[in-house]
A = this chain, B = another copy of it.
Amino acid sequence: MEESVKDLMQKLTDCITACNHCFDQCLQEDDVKHMTECIRTDRECADICTIALSFLTREGSLKADLLQLCAITCQACGDECEKHSHDHCQECAKACFACAEACRTHPLIA
């Protein structure tokens, strides 16, 4: 497998892990009332990254479209997570932004 695909798969896996962790931790926060949009985008982002991961290692013409969608989703989730000071939110924002960047700049899109 090409290095650029391998790297992107790692970023996607890291992002899925961070989003799912953030989702579960947000649900346990005292201020869960302020975390609802974060919970929603965490789920959404984990799902889209999972789909992107599964298409990345297949033949087909949808990869660029899926990476574009994944970049948008990760950016939106990162923007939301970034607003909150919880460690899991800050770490999730970092993973989301790294994944969005990796999608946007991947040879499959550019």
Which A residues contact B (CB, under 8 angstroms)?
A: 1, 9, 13, 16-17, 20-21, 23-24, 27-28, 32-33, 36, 39-40, 43-44, 46-48, 50-51, 53-55, 57-62, 65-66, 69, 72-73, 76
How far in angstroms is the closest Cβ of chain B from A4? 14
Whether A50 pairs with B48 at a CB distance below 8 angstroms is no
Given contacts A27-B40, A69-B66, contact A16 B54 (CB under 8 A): yes
Copies of this chain in the oligomer? 4
Whether B48 pairs with A24 at a CB distance below 8 angstroms is no
With a cutoff of 8 Å between Cβ atoms, the chain B residues found around residue A20 in the complex are 54, 57-58
How far in angstroms is the closest Cβ of chain B from A69? 5
**Complex CA–CA separation, A5 to B17 (angstroms):** 11
Contact of A62 among B39, B48, B58 (CB under 8 A): B48
